[in-house]
Structure 1
Amino acid sequence: MSSSRVGFRFFESSRAAFRAAFRRPGAQGRRFQSSDAASQQQSTFQRMWNSPVGVKTVHFWAPVMKWALVIAGISDFQRPAEKLSLTQNGALTATGAIWTRWCLIIKPKNYLLAAVNFFLGCVGVVQVTRIFNYRRSLDGSSQAAVKDMEQEVAGEAKAVAHEVSNAVKKST
């Protein structure tokens, strides 16, 4: 029993040494937080520049670039509903909903990315509603439109699954 205990102590001490080796000087165990004195001396621009979600990080530029998807979706409001893709707008809706939630869970919380994903989901919901209403108006019954949409989505999902399984088989 003593040998297992010595082994555990060895791994515990090596783990602590590993953490100490990669710790920033003066970090004091708090991640992404600077001291109050240093932050008071910095200007607003310097704080924004040095922030963990600041201008020099991907956490800033990813939402900025993703606004292009929102703008493209808004520009599609002018297109006729028969020319809109249900799967594309369904994917925008799902992406917006999933990633909005994820942006509020991760650390550091990225409110810029959460906002753009929220609006991306809203654009997707509006477009899917437009497609649904258009298809319902063609048949006069909502049940037929829903079944058509279900068959279309199921068929495309099966095609994607088949392509993925073929790609997996080729890679192995």
Structure 2
Amino acid sequence: MSSRVGFRFLNNARFTFRNASGPFRRPGGTGFRFQSSDAAAEQQSTFQRMWNSPVGVKTVHFWAPVMKWALVIAGISDFSRPPEKLSLTQNAALMATGAIWTRWCLIIKPRNVLLAAVNFFLGCVGVVQVGRIYSWQRSQSGSDADAIKEIANEAEATAKDVVEKTEAAVKKS
């Protein structure tokens, strides 16, 4: 596979230099122009280009990050709450969601940088809150081992609860 990529690069480079103008121009070469192939896009206003863009105002690629900023703002407002009132599982979920979706937003086509940015900040808020919860639990228990066991027990209880609810929902259907 890697040899094919190199072969494609070599062929594209040869084509470019073969048709180039200036010092690389060969006799009889056509050269190339440095202008956009879409003249209509140049005549549109900024608003029209944003409206007709594949990640523009009338698409979910724009509105998903706008709505997701509410989660980031809610997480930031929780900075003032005492750590004992915060949910570890909720903030761990925000942290994981932020990390996973930040990467995913940069892979999908069209690449959605706005959604990647909001997910990055969502992950940062989750990291800060989980750190606050962990340090509070550590200060309460007196040792790191006790805090880690307590976090693990809480996560295990939550997982068991989710499994039980899922099994009950499957039995109903």
| TM-score (norm. length: structure 1) | 0.78
Which deviations, in whole Å up to 9, do the C-alpha atoms of 1:48-76 show, x marking residues without a partner? Answer: 00001101111101100100000000000
Give the unaligned 5+ runs of structure 1.
1-33
Offset at 1:46?
0.6
Runs of 4+ in structure 1 deviating by more than 2 angstroms, as ranges, are: none
Q: Indicate the percent of aligned positions where both proteins have the same amino acid.
A: 75
Deviations 1:95-141, CA, capped at 9 Å, x for gaps: 10111111011110111000000000000000000000000001110
Distance 1:165 1:97 in 2: 29
Post-superposition offset of 1:35: 5.1
Superposed CA offset, 1:6-37 (max 9, x none): xxxxxxxxxxxxxxxxxxxxxxxxxxxx9521
The one of 126, 129, 135 aligned to 2:128? 126
SS at match of 1:104: helix
Residue of structure 2 in register with 1:152 after alignment: 154
Residues in 1 aligned to 2:85 and 2:51: alpha-carbon distance in whole angstroms: 43
What pairs up with 1:65-104 in 2 under 5 angstroms? 65-104=67-106
- After superposition, residues 1-172 of structure 1 pair within 5 angstroms as 36-171=38-173
Name which one, 1 or 2, has greater alpha-carbon Rg.
2
Letter of the 1:158 partner, please give it: K
Query: TM-score, normalization: structure 2?
Result: 0.78
1:161 Cα deviation after fit? 1.1
Partner of 1:13: none
The size of the alignment, in residue pairs, is 138
- The structure showing larger relative contact order (alpha-carbon pairs under 8 Å, at least 6 residues apart) is 1
